[in-house]
Amino acid sequence: MTIMTGYEIFWPLLAHVALVYGLYALLGARRAKMVRAGKIAKSDYRENRDEPAESLAVKNCLANQFELPVLFYACCILLYVTEADNIVAVGLAWLFVALRYAHAAVHVSSNDLRYRSPLFAAGYLTLAGMWLWLAAWMVMG
């Protein structure tokens, strides 16, 4: 049996941070490609009103990483502070991050809502489970 070190809840959080950095790199690469292809002038990114679809999908996906995941970060920290960061909480955190990666992969590729929406919903419910776990822990504590 593996002994919890007390920091396991932060590994999924760091994995999500890696996703955000990866999306920034992808956004930069796609924007550079659009400039080289002549689809947009570099100066057009100043006000960013007519972003080509290829990079707009990444930009929107990146913006999504600062919406629902903000609640994920807060929950992880609160789980740690209240010492509710056990195997259940860590498992839910990893599931949430895996779903965010899957959601992002669909968002920056096909952007097909038939796949993206259920992935978002599953992440939403997983995060709700994390908050419920925290609340139950505090009530029972």
Is the pLDDT assigned to residue 4 strictly greater than 70?
A: no
Token duo for residue 34: 């659009």
Is residue 19 very low, low, confident or very high in pLDDT (cuts 50, 70, 90)?
A: very high
Query: What CA–CA distance (Å, rounded) separates 31 from 19?
Result: 18
Q: Return the DSSP state at 2.
A: P
**How many Cβ atoms are within 10 Å of 129's Cβ, its own excluded?**
16
Is residue 2 very low, low, confident or very high in pLDDT (cuts 50, 70, 90)?
A: low
Is the pLDDT assigned to residue 123 strictly greater than 90?
A: yes
Mean pLDDT of 81-105: 97
Render the burial of 6-25: b for 16+ CB within 10 Å, e for the rest. Answer: eebbbebbebbeebbeebee
124-140: per-residue pLDDT in tens?
999 999 999 999 999 99
Mean pLDDT of 86-105: 97
